[in-house]
Amino acid sequence: MIINWLKGSILPPVAAGAIRVFGASMQLFTVGESTVDALYARGERIIIAFWHGRQVMMPLAYRGRNASILISHHRDGELIARIMKSFGFGAIRGSTTRGGVRALRQLIREGRRGGDLVMTPDGPKGPACQVQHGVLYLAKMTGCPIVPLTFSCSKKKSSPAGITFKFLFQGGAASLCGVILYGCHGKFPRGDFLSRPNC
């Protein structure tokens, strides 16, 4: 009972604060943001896709104003949802193994209403770093372009390591340099479910 209370009431604001402090302590570089800004300038909404293992710093990378993020029903899902709420994200709960169809419908509605959509295309159960069909179907049904996003950190003043886009921990402490990378985007034509975007 006490553990559940701590996870639900105390841990979310503490974790959100830690993310903000960690972000403020780093020298952050953003790559590819002009493409996303151009989409927003044209009034387009986007689907942000990042690997599940890179989600911790993603709230600091978001450049829009209104986003709904897909969060699974696993035991830590509620904790993640509350942390994301503190950054202004709406949470839609579901995954491929539980509540996935209903969650996908909710995401489609939010996308058609003009909000950005956020999801991890590999999901919490993987296979890690392998795109599942859900994000492709979401792009097809909403007409929103998929924008890949990642974050990596490296040891301070270690640029070669920083641009490899892997989390590196040396000496037991996280580095103080970070890179936010927006990849090329693409739309999926309606009726062409598994077509590849041009980029």
| Rounded CA separation 151/139 (Å) | 22
Q: What is the CATH number of domain 2-27+44-146?
A: 3.40.1010
pTM (two decimals):
0.76
CA-nearest of 29, 66, 16, 41 to 182 is 29
Look up tokens 């952050």; give the residue. 28
Per-residue pLDDT tens over the stretch 76-123: 788 889 999 999 999 999 876 677 888 989 999 999 888 999 999 887
Per-residue pLDDT tens over the stretch 21-36: 888 888 888 888 888 8
Identify the DSSP state of 94. -
One-letter amino acid of 138: L
Q: Please, are residues 142 and 117 in contact by the beta-carbon 8 Å criterion? A: yes
Please give the mean pLDDT across all residues of the chain: 77
CA-nearest of 143, 149, 135 to 194 is 135
Phi, psi of 103 (to 5 degrees): -65, -40
Q: Bigger pLDDT: 163 or 50?
A: 50
Per-residue pLDDT tens over the stretch 32-62: 888 889 999 999 999 999 988 888 888 888 8
